[in-house]
Amino acid sequence: MTRFRDELDSIARQAPDVDLAEVALRGARRTRTALISGSATAAVAALTLAVTVLINPGGPAGVGTVTSGTPSSGATFHGIPARPTPSPEDLVPVRAVLPASGVGPVRYAYYDFCQDTWKPGEDNAPVADETCLQWKVVLQDGTRYRVADALSVYTDQTKKNYMNTAAPLAISRDGRRIAYYAPDRERFTVRELDTGQVWEIPQVVRRKAMVKGGGLITFSPDGRRLGLSLSGIPQVIVDVESGRVVEEAPKGWFFLNPADEGVPTVVEHERARFGVLSDGKVTVFAEPKTWALTGAVGPDGATVAMLTGPTAQGESMTNGEPYDKVVTVDWASGKVRSEVKLDPPRRLRPYRLGSWLNEREVLALGSAEPDPDSGRSPDLGDTAYAIDVTTGKIRKLGDYRLPPWGGSISAPGFPGG
Amino acid sequence: MDRYEGFREFVSARQQALMRTAYLLTGDAHRAEDLLQTVLTRIARHWPKLAKDGNPEAYARRALVNEHVSWLRRRRSDILTSRPPEPAYDPESAGLHRMVLQQVLLRLTPRQRAVLVLRFYEDLSVEETADALGCSPGTVKSQTHYALGRLRVLAPELADLLSEVDPVEVPR
């Protein structure tokens, strides 16, 4: 037995259970019946065809009259791509509640709305039910559960405050822990899915503050710490099991990727400065003049990866002007260690950089990559990439698909959406 | 006498193992189910003969591989542009290997993938794999070598994992 065999076995175990005996038998019986009656059927078909041709020698009306590319009345406008066809599993309402324990790792999570019954900027409490306005987790085998005690979409929105949509749910890198806002306790809760262990993060976060300002929560790579980047309370990193605050960012600084114990956390200032936070102190390592994105400190403990683009700070950056370089910086000295062009830059629309996949590659999360040749709009959702900081090459790792009326995705290891 | 006697029992006992092989070959749950259904339907048609003097499971495994390669030949463009399966995003070391392996397996040729599945998942010998694929043992060896080499190029992080089944020669 080798690890390679084990990995193949793990992949194979993702195959769903099937029960194909009766289907196969029906197929076999149909074929057998068709074979037995084949000659008789062929004779009848030939006779029918002959009669049809005699009655209607021009062929059925309409067939063969439409040629590809030929204008006709009521012509299709090709500028609008076809809507994506929802996968069948996306159309089944998720009613099952996440069991208290014995659950395998989560692949990703999403929340969704209630189709046309949802009204932005209004009190939507009346339309919420068990199948919508809830966080749903998708396990590795595709099983979906709703997290009934997690707050997702704020039903108590107003017309002035309708952009801050939902309370976050974060997933640890290994998919074994989730963190979410428990509205009845006005605190964040961490659940270990297999053992059923639950920890409550001591910081009280008022629901009113969540609805007003929102925020993000993220696990450290080992899942032992949870970073709270919320408006209205200090930006802190909390040890999940003890509830102790292990880092607090100085005023004006925030973080997206809390680090494991012993590793400094990359922080960003509201005024476009980047630094690392350790023992309450920030060491600034970059003050870029253009838009930039940072992730976490690398496995060597010294390097931080950044994505940079051509657009100056303060100017509007749109999706049409993506980041085009990946830069590594020594956080202690602030010196640039490497700088390469992203290859190909247009395929990546990142909005998050995460932790390091290995010594050369950094994880990134971006919007789903559209396929220009497909003639259809892309599936909604996010895509995980690996960016090689030495070559700029980008590898797509996989998609996290949103169902129709989906709201936001939460991917393991990244800030909860 | 029911000409399908024993078929249900065979399917009930072996369909999950066969489904897993089909999933490894196709990388897609729906396609795997279609593939297995096609093969089981064919087995049901030949059941009296297979049950009497054949080995239904070996036949099923061979048919899965051949049917899959045949599908890919017929519907190559469709297969290659379809959405890749959503890999388990589990960036802990073991989970990462799995995620990366799942992705790069789909970038092998169907026969290379089949060789790896039969040799290292089904644990078939070179000769048994050759028999299942209808080729010579030499072809199985070369296809295995090429497939593992391609995995190494596509995913350098799998080097450790692959070295257990195919140690890379180090110049002395």
CB nearest A11 (choices: B8, B43, B102):
B102
Q: Is the pLDDT of residue B90 over 50?
A: no
Q: Is the pLDDT of residue B63 over 50?
A: yes
Q: How far apart are the first and last CA of chain B?
A: 68
Burial class of residue B106 (count of CB atoms within 10 Å of its CB; 0-12, 13-18, 19+): middle
Q: Assess whether the previous peptide bond of A344 is cis (omega < 30° from 0).
A: yes
Q: Is the pLDDT of residue A112 over 70?
A: yes
A226-235 confidence digits (pLDDT tens)? 999 987 788 9
3-state secondary structure of A226: strand
pLDDT (mean) for A343-350: 67
A12-53 confidence digits (pLDDT tens)? 887 777 778 877 877 776 655 444 444 333 333 333 333 333
- Chain A residue numbers with beta carbons less than 8 Å from the beta carbon of B120 are 2, 4-5, 8
Question: Pick the residue with more confidence: A215 or B54?
Answer: A215
Q: Which of A157-161, B123-127, B145-149 is the least confident region?
A: A157-161
A190-202 confidence digits (pLDDT tens)? 999 999 999 999 9
Q: Which of A61-65, A79-83, A95-99, A391-395 is the least confident region?
A: A61-65
Q: What share of chain B is helix, strand, coil (3-state, %, to 5)?
A: 75, 0, 25
Q: Is the dihedral of CA A311, A312, A318, A324 positive or negative?
A: positive
Q: What's the mean per-residue pLDDT of chain A? A: 77
pLDDT score, position A390: 94
Q: Is the pLDDT of residue A66 over 50?
A: no
- Chain A residue numbers with beta carbons less than 8 Å from the beta carbon of B98 are 7, 10-11
The answer to whether the CB atoms of B120 and A5 lie below 8 A apart is yes
- Quote the CA–CA distance of A379 and A377 in Å, as a whole number: 7
Chain B, window 139-168: residues with a beta carbon less than 8 angstroms from a chain A beta carbon: 157, 160-162, 164-165
- Chain B residue numbers with beta carbons less than 8 Å from the beta carbon of A221 are 91
- How large a percentage of chain A has pLDDT more than 70? 72
> Which H or E run contains A396?
strand A394-401
Using pLDDT thresholds of 50, 70 and 90, give the confidence band for residue B47: confident
Q: Is the pLDDT of residue A171 over 90?
A: yes
> Chain A contact for B115, CB < 8 A?
no
CB nearest A28 (choices: B44, B95, B123):
B44
ipTM of the complex: 0.81
B45-83 residues labelled b (16+ CB within 10 A) or e (exposed): bebbebbeeeebeebbbbbbbebbbebbeeeeeebeeee
- 8 A C-beta contact, residue A409 and residue A400: yes
CA separation, residue B113 to residues A305, B133, B141 (Å): 35, 12, 13
Q: Is the pLDDT of residue B41 over 60?
A: yes
- 8 A C-beta contact, residue B151 and residue B100: no
- Chain A residue numbers with beta carbons less than 8 Å from the beta carbon of B161 are 3-4, 7
Residues contacting residue A335 through CB under 8 Å, at least 6 positions apart: A329
Question: Pick the residue with more confidence: A107 or A1?
Answer: A107
3-state secondary structure of A120: coil
Q: How far is A398 from chain B (nearest CA, A)?
A: 5
- How large a percentage of chain A has pLDDT more than 90? 35
pLDDT score, position A267: 94
Chain B, window 38-77: residues with a beta carbon less than 8 angstroms from a chain A beta carbon: 40-45, 47
Count of other CB atoms within 10 angstroms of residue B156: 13
pLDDT score, position A15: 78
Cα angle, residue A43 at apex, residues A38 and A48 outer, rounded to 5°: 120
Residue of B nearest to A369 (CA): B83
The answer to whether the CB atoms of B91 and A412 lie below 8 A apart is yes
> Chain B contact for A91, CB < 8 A?
no
Question: Pick the residue with more confidence: A339 or A25?
Answer: A339
pLDDT score, position A207: 87
The answer to whether the CB atoms of B84 and A398 lie below 8 A apart is yes
Question: Pick the residue with more confidence: A365 or A227?
Answer: A227
The answer to whether the CB atoms of B91 and A108 lie below 8 A apart is no
CB nearest A357 (choices: B44, B96, B165):
B96
The answer to whether the CB atoms of A140 and B90 lie below 8 A apart is yes
Count of other CB atoms within 10 angstroms of residue B122: 20
Count of other CB atoms within 10 angstroms of residue A126: 10
Sheet holding A290-297, edge to edge: A290-297, A303-312, A325-330, A336-341
CA separation, residue B34 to residues A20, A376, B41, B62, B71 (Å): 10, 25, 11, 16, 11
Q: Which of A29-43, A259-273, A379-393, B40-54 is the least confident region?
A: A29-43
Q: Is the pLDDT of residue A254 over 70?
A: yes
The answer to whether the CB atoms of B88 and A363 lie below 8 A apart is no
> Chain B contact for A11, CB < 8 A?
yes
Q: How far is B48 from chain A (nearest CA, A)?
A: 12
